[in-house]
Chain A
Amino acid sequence: MRQLRFLQAMNEAYRQVMAEDESVMILGEDIRGGIRGETKGLHAAFGDDRVLDTPISEAAFTGFATGAALAGLRPIVQFQVPSLIYVAFDQLVNQAAKMRLMLGGQADLPVTYTIMVSGTRGGNAGQHSDNPYPYLVHAGFKVVCPSTAYDAKGLMIQAIREQDPVVFIASAMSLPHKGEVPEEIYTVPLGKGQVRRAGTDVTVVAVGHLVPEALAVAESLSEKRGISVEVWDPRTLLPFDRDGLLESVRKTGRVVIYDDTNRSCGYASEISAILGEHAFSSLIAPIKRITRADIPLPYNPDLEAAVLPSPMQLEQAICSVWSYSKS
């Protein structure tokens, strides 16, 4: 099958949905220029009213999308880098996320927020390296975090078609990923995780760009130590596929969560809590979390590496939980 890069898959999703549905529009900073590629060609194809380059006014263009959605459009709002959502936090958290409930369901908000280059690419320091999805899940947004080009296209199309606000996390480290992507329109459903590698000894829950790393660690441990690691990718963080995860953990009894957000109240904390509540009797080892440290990312590459979740930490954690034997 044809192979596309993650960004090309996003671009194809944008194009196909915009061609199919006239109410879809996209706005953000430097969209028309499209230098990264995901918005390339959209302006030429869909014109001024549907492809908007905004001033550097995150709060206003986020609120603008809310108003456009309430009036019947289906906007995609692109944030150039993740930390810019903080500039628009009122419009996201107080307005868009709360609006439907506060209105008693009078109107829907079919808005998609694309968070570009999420996480670190190395050396971007504290303000350009966040993975802000725990905040967004906490606020009640539906959040998708694809790890493959296939999922990027399918989840993007599903996100745009949802009647509720959805955040699409485009992880920096996932962008170069290349994989098979069908040419036709298809969707990946929300709330359905996927077993990326089957195994029987340990379940690794890996989020977003950490999925390929987890797969590599799993392969190497299988070769080196004969440990059978299952790698499970939640794909969407809210809704979260609780049943899919429990199925895996009931089989393995051992879990390591591998997630690039803060240790305290990060996404791994939530998964860990779900497992503590619902998989207690299946667990034969303590749940382990490999996460970021609770600090902004330092600039120096060695310092940065010291606070990010690493394959080595993952490997150690897998071995540690594996040492608990089934009685």
Chain B
Amino acid sequence: MSNILPPQMARKMYADMFRIRQFDIKVVELVDDDLIPGSCHEYCGQEAVAVGVCSALTKKDILTSTHRGHGHTLAKGGDVGKMFAELFGKSAGYNKGRGGSMHIADFSLGIFGANGIVGAGAPIACGAAHKFKAAGEPHVAVSFFGDGAINQGVVHEAMNLAAIWRLPVIFVCENNLYAMTTPLRDVTILELYERAQSYGMASTKVDGMDVGAVFDTTFSAVERARAGGGPSFIQCDTYRYFGHYSGERHMKTTYRTQQEIDEWKKRDPLDFWAERLIQGSICSAQDIERMKREVDEQIAEGVEYASQCPAPSPQDALEHMYAVNYPYTPAQGAEQ
């Protein structure tokens, strides 16, 4: 267990991870029931990464997320009801039904949005970090991306920008070993964190199933960034339990063996952390059961709220394109 982690926070981390787990288990159900249009990329299995990283951040710190973004948003404090409402495409959703799973954002919590384009958030995080640095504000920007994104040019360009300008950015690479069906070993030679080293930044690898370890590593990266020490790269080795996206469940895939999945599940980040909490007398088994019940209630309430709130009016479909509209702009599809 981490040395710097206050007990209350250690407990909250469990609840946060459990919330992500239950949220995405619910999402699977809702996709199957056709209540969510489009597809979702579930985060189950990787909870320790989002929670470990975001526990080291404040509300003023910002993050850019990925297509697999529910975990990051929840870990940064995202509201369960507003998230479900967005997944249902409702007006009360985070993005007023304009974004869905792949674009959920909450600027009041520094969540600059999930992103449907692999690697695209990395330079955006750098721009926000520049603002913090130029204004003398002590905040940091975190860019989450997967092992697949490490082969996107823009991620490398962004790492270079962060390094040359000593930006307070933390690049968090979630290595779940697969990009869709492509194994990391087929497309990448070096360890991921070794690539970042070549840009001249602190770079390290951590067990992404151990939320305490992820927190500790992130905490030092954040401290360094706040003190003007520039960017860091953290490779978090982890595993996704479900398919690449919600639809994969109904397909026959062979890119991972059941044995491999079962092996990783033995190192489940929630079980691991529960055990640590109990061993360290930070909480009892009953405390954990109580936390779980509370989370389950939140999830149920969130779904209930989202189902009941109204859908946006099709008449308003062109809203939000621009801050300032001009005549005939944006144009309708049919004669005005």
Partner-B contacts on A (CB < 8 A): 25, 49-50, 52, 54-55, 57, 59-73, 75, 90-91, 94-95, 99-108, 110, 140, 142, 162-164, 190-191, 238-240, 242-243, 277
Name A64's closest neighbour in chain B (CB-CB): B127
Is B126's CB within 8 Å of the partner chain A?
A: yes
| Cβ A55 vs Cβ B161 within 8 A | yes
| Cβ B99 vs Cβ A63 within 8 A | no
Is B330's CB within 8 Å of the partner chain A?
A: yes
* CB contact between A238 and one of B98, B141, B329 (< 8 Å): that residue: B329
CB contact list, B100-149 vs A, under 8 A: 103, 105-107, 112-113, 115-117, 120, 122-134, 141
Residues on the A chain within 8 Å of B131, using CB: 67-68, 71-73
Knowing A70-B127, A100-B323, the reply to whether A57 touches B98 (Cβ < 8 A) is no
In this complex, which of A60, A70, A142, A239 has the most chain B Cβ atoms within 10 angstroms of its Cβ?
A60
Interface stretch among B45-53, B89-97, B254-262, B268-276? B89-97
Residues on the B chain within 8 Å of A277, using CB: 335
| Cβ B161 vs Cβ A70 within 8 A | no
Closest 8 CB pairs of A and B: A67-B127, A63-B123, A104-B96, A60-B157, A239-B326, A163-B323, A104-B95, A68-B127
Is B196's CB within 8 Å of the partner chain A?
A: no
Residues on the A chain within 8 Å of B98, using CB: 101-104
Residues on the A chain within 8 Å of B64, using CB: 67
Size class of the B contact interface (CB-based, 8 Å): 35 or more
Knowing A102-B99, A103-B98, A239-B328, the reply to whether A164 touches B322 (Cβ < 8 A) is yes
Partner-A contacts on B (CB < 8 A): 62, 64, 93-99, 103, 105-107, 112-113, 115-117, 120, 122-134, 141, 153-154, 157-158, 160-161, 164-165, 319-324, 326-330, 335
> What's the count of A-B pairs with C-beta under 8 Å?
165
Residues on the B chain within 8 Å of A49, using CB: 130, 133-134
Knowing A63-B123, A68-B127, A68-B131, the reply to whether A101 touches B320 (Cβ < 8 A) is yes
In this complex, which of B97, B112, B115 has the most chain A Cβ atoms within 10 angstroms of its Cβ?
B112
Residues on the A chain within 8 Å of B321, using CB: 100-101, 140
| Cβ B103 vs Cβ A103 within 8 A | yes
| Cβ B96 vs Cβ A57 within 8 A | no
Given contacts A67-B130, A71-B62, A100-B320, 9 further A-B contacts (CB under 8 A): A59-B157, A60-B160, A67-B123, A70-B107, A95-B117, A95-B124, A108-B323, A163-B324, A242-B328
Distance (whole angstroms) from the CB of A70 to the closest CB of chain B: 6
Residues on the B chain within 8 Å of A99, using CB: 113
The CA of A75 and the CA of B153, in the complex, are separated in Å by 23
| Cβ B161 vs Cβ A54 within 8 A | yes
Name A70's closest neighbour in chain B (CB-CB): B112
| Cβ B320 vs Cβ A105 within 8 A | yes
| Cβ A63 vs Cβ B158 within 8 A | yes
A–B complex contacts, Cβ < 8 Å, 20 sampled: A49-B130, A49-B133, A49-B134, A59-B123, A60-B157, A60-B158, A61-B123, A71-B127, A73-B130, A91-B123, A102-B99, A103-B113, A104-B93, A104-B96, A106-B105, A110-B323, A140-B330, A163-B324, A191-B326, A240-B328
Name A111's closest neighbour in chain B (CB-CB): B127
| Cβ A94 vs Cβ B160 within 8 A | no
The CA of A66 and the CA of B105, in the complex, are separated in Å by 15
Residues on the B chain within 8 Å of A75, using CB: 127
Distance (whole angstroms) from the CB of A62 to the closest CB of chain B: 7
Distance (whole angstroms) from the CB of A142 to the closest CB of chain B: 8
Knowing A61-B161, A100-B321, the reply to whether A70 touches B124 (Cβ < 8 A) is yes
| Cβ B95 vs Cβ A106 within 8 A | yes
Distance (whole angstroms) from the CB of A240 to the closest CB of chain B: 7
Name B136's closest neighbour in chain A (CB-CB): A49
The CA of A60 and the CA of B270, in the complex, are separated in Å by 36
Residues on the B chain within 8 Å of A110, using CB: 323
The CA of A60 and the CA of B120, in the complex, are separated in Å by 9
Residues on the B chain within 8 Å of A67, using CB: 64, 112, 123-131, 141
Knowing A103-B95, A104-B95, A239-B328, the reply to whether A91 touches B127 (Cβ < 8 A) is no
| Cβ B99 vs Cβ A103 within 8 A | yes
The CA of A25 and the CA of B133, in the complex, are separated in Å by 14
Residues on the B chain within 8 Å of A100, using CB: 320-323
